[in-house]
């Protein structure tokens, strides 16, 4: 093959997004690619000429293993959305000119639904202009909100991290012999997949969280407080998993409500409260018990020290499958994961038209939510449990997980 | 031996405090203890009659291994401080009466400097009244602020967790091609051991945090902002590790500046939270760049999924050493860790008079702090690095770390 390959990462990172990068790189090299370029900071960096030759970075099979285990987007990322061709044709002309200069034949973009919009637009422009360059999407997002695919690489590891630390925090809540409420704030602005994953903590050796608040269900203050009060009559330590994106029936985010009074600190800057903190204050005020909020924070997307082996393997597979499909002539498509069975868990890859995926958000189906009990159903758990199975041990050096590193 | 043993846990938990419990239990059983009782929620629970027979909980060697790997205080904890004998003699009489009823000969208390006050007072009362019961302290605290011991069990695992996730978060900060400041808020009210441990992230594959703010050094707003600005001229993503307990020169906590109504815990300590957020607001306001705060939170004391093997082994050893010493006639003492050498790291146990330890706080020595550069020195790193070495793999069941669990 004489054509070259380019690959980029876009949108928020995951703990396994670099495993997909490794899958693209290795499969392209195995198929005889001349050069595999990486665009730094996605299509935006590409436009600024930020391009690297990946073989300068991945020099051995050990490097490839380290790359898989390296959190965050190795190539950097962007949140740049391409304008419509009708609005700005020049940017497309620039991109394609640069691609031709690099003799690119295959273009891979690892990202979520916003990023798939880039693949959609570039492949449509290629079709319109008769370009032979093939554009393929590689799915990635901890949010699990991509259409057409059973689940997204990145979700399983975030879910495993969330369930593991939820178990640990539930234990921590039992330490003192006092009434307390712990609010776990979990990522997911519009889709409750990650927050629902806290239910996986429920197991032979753990009661699991007591309540789960998803953004798919409008938040009712009175009902919420009543439920917490009811649970606290039975047990002292109450643990509640809440999505950062829960909203009132009128559409306002719960965290917006808490900011209404617009508190300002002594330095004169506005204090922003998270959803967890707002709910902890609410509980403390209404029920008069100790309440604390724990934000699971950025670690949800970069805790590579406890990834799911199922997830990291599938992340690698979708990267490889995208290369295979492109080499076989596909373009304007995304690789999907297709579940064959829950138990034993079996999953293969498939391909799907990018137009049906770009900009579409998949939320938790209402039939998987037990609304009155603030929980997810057994169907949700059966769906999610296989995705957190098994581990890929970090390569530990001097007591810490080793990452692939390249000095700038 | 006809005498029985009782053991309790007190103060904040650590990821390895149950390994000390396992060490006490196993060594006592090996030495022929008739019964090993556990007091639930420390001396406070003991006064309320909350006592369990540990052999009902630890039924096999597998249970013992699970107990070591179980985060949080298995027996629960308290923050109860015994009154002086002169103030309330009755409480001592009650305790000793209950101890005699249970035929207790050996009393072990796993805790920090506040908890060692309990051992001190009980052993003094025993001496005063001619009681034969022996009281021994087993050191524990993530804060590493106990006197007389080279370091405390619990610190190494918290340091390993902090260094590991600092590496991951530093990676995460590099994702977008924009100026940003990330503030990592780390536990430690008066001593900067844990915050200093963030420096361990600096390694062949990681630049480490750019600044480290310890509570031992007064916070100077102007100098701080100037330093951040200076660093940001060289690199876009600036990562700063800050202790929750940093203070202004006038003694006020930085977080108090942002939070007027400071609450107080049972020991009269101020409840701290929000230092990271206050500093992120400050940076965003003064330098106009994106700034975020990440609170490492409770996970610092309960992330048993990534413990240090050195730490968990030493936690077990100090438990065992306390039993050995008590059986050999010691009382009113705490087990200490005595470092023999840094490289290769070697450490043994010793015993020390409890009076020199109770209520004393060991802070980071000023000669280990590089004040103008907001960092710790190589001596600090040489001290801390051995303590995070090696791993004790969690026992994974259905994709999650397994804990020892006993239904109430």
Set of chain B residues whose Cβ sits within 8 Å of the Cβ of A404: 205
Record: contact A393-B390, CB cut-off 8 A: no
C-alpha A275/C-alpha A265 separation (Å) is 19
Whether residue B344 is preceded by a cis peptide bond, meaning omega within 30 degrees of 0, is yes
State the alpha helices, DSSP H only, in B174-247: 193-196, 221-234
Record: contact A172-B302, CB cut-off 8 A: yes
Q: Which two tokens stand for residue A351?
A: 């391909």
For B300, the 3-state DSSP assignment is helix
Just list the catalytic residues of A.
143
Record: contact A389-B399, CB cut-off 8 A: yes
Record: contact B278-A267, CB cut-off 8 A: yes
Contact A294, B273 (CB under 8 A): no
Of A77, A203, A400, which is closest to B175 when you measure between CB atoms?
A77
Q: Tell me, yes or no, if A399 comes closer than 8 A to chain B by beta carbon.
A: yes
- pLDDT mean over A171-183: 95
C-alpha A131/C-alpha B342 separation (Å) is 63
Contacts of residue B188, defined as CB under 8 A and 6 or more positions apart, other chains included, come to: B143, B194, B195, B214, B215, B243, B244, B245
CB pairs under 8 A between A and B: 199
Strands B346-353 and B333-341: antiparallel
Residue pLDDT, tens place only, A282-297: 999 899 999 999 999 9
Contact B347, B338 (CB under 8 A): yes
Handedness of CA B110, B114, B118, B121 (dihedral sign): positive
pLDDT of residue A3: 87
- pLDDT mean over A218-246: 96
| Band of pLDDT at residue A113, cut at 50, 70 and 90 | confident
Burial of A2 (0-12, 13-18, 19+ CB in 10 A): exposed
Give the gap in angstroms from C-alpha B69 to the nearest C-alpha of chain A.
11
Q: Which residue ranges of B make up the annotated binding site for Mg(2+)?
A: 113
Helix pair B155-173, B309-327: axis angle to 10 deg: 170
Q: Tell me, yes or no, if A45 comes closer than 8 A to chain B by beta carbon.
A: yes
Contact B195, B350 (CB under 8 A): no
Distances (CA, A) of B202 to A15, A116, B58, B208, B244: 20, 36, 40, 4, 21
Residue with tokens 């924009």: B178
Whether residue A344 is preceded by a cis peptide bond, meaning omega within 30 degrees of 0, is yes
For A317, the 3-state DSSP assignment is helix
Give the gap in angstroms from C-alpha A264 to the nearest C-alpha of chain B.
8
Burial of B223 (0-12, 13-18, 19+ CB in 10 A): exposed
Q: Tell me the average confidence (pLDDT) per consecutive run of 10 residues in chain B, 408 residues long.
A: 88 97 98 97 97 97 97 95 96 98 98 94 97 98 96 98 98 94 96 98 97 97 97 96 96 75 48 79 92 95 97 98 98 98 96 92 97 98 98 95 85
Give kind and range of the element (H or E) at residue A340.
strand A333-341
Q: Which of A95, A91, A90, A92 is nearest to A125 (CA)?
A: A92
Give the gap in angstroms from C-alpha B128 to the nearest C-alpha of chain A.
31
Record: contact A306-B301, CB cut-off 8 A: no
- pLDDT mean over A376-383: 98
Residue with tokens 């509980």: A283
Q: Which two tokens stand for residue A114?
A: 């916003």
Record: contact B400-A267, CB cut-off 8 A: no
Q: Within the 92-151 window of chain B, which residues sit less than 8 Å (CB to CB) from chain A?
A: none
All domains of chain B in start order, with CATH: 4-141+304-358+391-401 (3.40.50.450), 155-302 (3.40.50.460)
C-alpha B77/C-alpha A121 separation (Å) is 59
Q: How many Å is the maximal CA-CA distance in chain B?
A: 71
Of B203, B206, B281, which is closest to A271 when you measure between CB atoms?
B281
Set of chain A residues whose Cβ sits within 8 Å of the Cβ of B209: none
Q: Which residues is B376 bridged to in the sheet?
A: B369
pLDDT of residue B272: 54
Quick one: how far is CA A138 from the chain centroid? 13
Record: contact A388-B400, CB cut-off 8 A: yes
pLDDT of residue A359: 86
Record: contact B13-A172, CB cut-off 8 A: yes
| Band of pLDDT at residue A407, cut at 50, 70 and 90 | low
Give kind and range of the element (H or E) at residue B292.
strand B290-295
Strands A134-139 and A180-186: unpaired
Q: Tell me, yes or no, if A271 comes closer than 8 A to chain B by beta carbon.
A: yes
C-alpha B252/C-alpha B268 separation (Å) is 16
Residue A79 labeled ligand binder: no
Set of chain B residues whose Cβ sits within 8 Å of the Cβ of A44: 177
C-alpha A389/C-alpha A384 separation (Å) is 10
C-alpha B211/C-alpha B227 separation (Å) is 9
Set B114, B143, B145, B311: catalytic member:
B143
Of B72, B176, B396, which is closest to A175 when you measure between CB atoms?
B72
Q: Tell me, yes or no, if A291 comes closer than 8 A to chain B by beta carbon.
A: no
Angle (CA) B195-B10-A208 rounded to 5° is 80
Of B12, B174, B402, which is closest to A205 when you measure between CB atoms?
B402
C-alpha B182/C-alpha B201 separation (Å) is 15
Q: Is B143 a catalytic residue?
A: yes
* Whether residue A219 has pLDDT greater than 50: yes
| Band of pLDDT at residue A261, cut at 50, 70 and 90 | very low
Of B41, B164, B398, which is closest to A305 when you measure between CB atoms?
B164
Q: Which two tokens stand for residue A81?
A: 């959305």
pLDDT of residue A271: 47
C-alpha A187/C-alpha A244 separation (Å) is 6
Instruction: Spell out a b/e string for A71-82, using b for 16 or more CB atoms within 10 Å of the CB, else e.
Output: bbbbbbbbbbeb
For A391, the 3-state DSSP assignment is strand
C-alpha A376/C-alpha B255 separation (Å) is 38
pLDDT of residue B239: 98
pLDDT of residue B267: 46
Q: Within the 161-200 window of chain B, which residues sit less than 8 Å (CB to CB) from chain A?
A: 163-165, 167-169, 171-172, 174-177, 200
For A43, the 3-state DSSP assignment is helix
Q: Within the 301-320 window of chain A, which residues sit less than 8 Å (CB to CB) from chain B?
A: 301-306, 308
């Amino acid at each position: 093959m004489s054509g070259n390959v380019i690959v980029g990462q876009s949108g928020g990172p995951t703990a396994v997004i670099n495993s997909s990068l490794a899958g693209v790189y290795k499969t392209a090299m195995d198929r005889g690619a001349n050069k595999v370029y990486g665009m730094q900071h996605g299509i935006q960096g590409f436009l600024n000429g930020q391009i690297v030759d990946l073989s300068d970075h991945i020099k051995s099979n050990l490097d490839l293993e380290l790359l898989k285990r390296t959190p965050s987007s190795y190539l950097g990322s962007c949140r740049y959305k391409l304008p419509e061709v009708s609005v700005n044709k020049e940017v497309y002309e620039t991109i394609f000119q640069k691609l031709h200069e690099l003799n690119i034949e295959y273009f891979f973009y690892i990202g979520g639904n916003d990023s798939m919009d880039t693949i959609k637009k570039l492949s449509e422009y290629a079709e319109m202009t008769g370009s032979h360059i093939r554009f393929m999407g590689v799915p990635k997002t901890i949010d699990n909100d991509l259409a057409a695919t059973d689940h997204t690489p990145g979700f399983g590891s975030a879910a495993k991290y969330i369930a593991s630390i939820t178990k640990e925090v539930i234990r921590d809540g039992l330490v003192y012999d006092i009434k307390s409420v712990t609010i776990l704030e979990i990522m997911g602005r519009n889709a409750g997949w990650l927050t629902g994953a806290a239910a996986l903590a429920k197991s032979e050796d753990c009661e699991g969280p007591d309540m789960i608040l998803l953004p798919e269900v409008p938040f009712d203050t009175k009902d919420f407080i009543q439920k917490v009060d009811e649970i606290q009559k039975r047990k002292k330590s109450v643990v509640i998993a809440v999505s950062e994106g829960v909203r009132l029936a009128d559409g306002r985010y719960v965290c917006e409500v808490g900011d209404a009074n617009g508190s300002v600190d002594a330095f004169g800057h506005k204090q922003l409260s998270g959803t967890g903190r707002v709910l902890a204050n609410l509980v403390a005020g209404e029920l008069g018990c100790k309440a604390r909020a724990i934000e699971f924070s950025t670690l949800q997307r970069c805790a590579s020290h406890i990834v799911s082996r199922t997830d990291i393997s599938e992340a690698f597979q979708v990267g490889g499958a995208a290369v295979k499909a492109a080499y076989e002539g596909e373009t304007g498509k995304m690789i999907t994961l297709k579940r064959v069975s829950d138990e034993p868990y079996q999953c293969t890859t498939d391909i799907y038209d990018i137009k049906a995926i770009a900009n579409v958000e998949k939320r938790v189906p209402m039939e998987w939510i037990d609304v009155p009990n603030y929980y997810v159903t057994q169907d949700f758990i059966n769906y999610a449990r296989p995705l957190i199975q098994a581990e890929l041990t970090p390569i530990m050096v001097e007591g810490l997980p080793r990452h692939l590193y390249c000095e700038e």
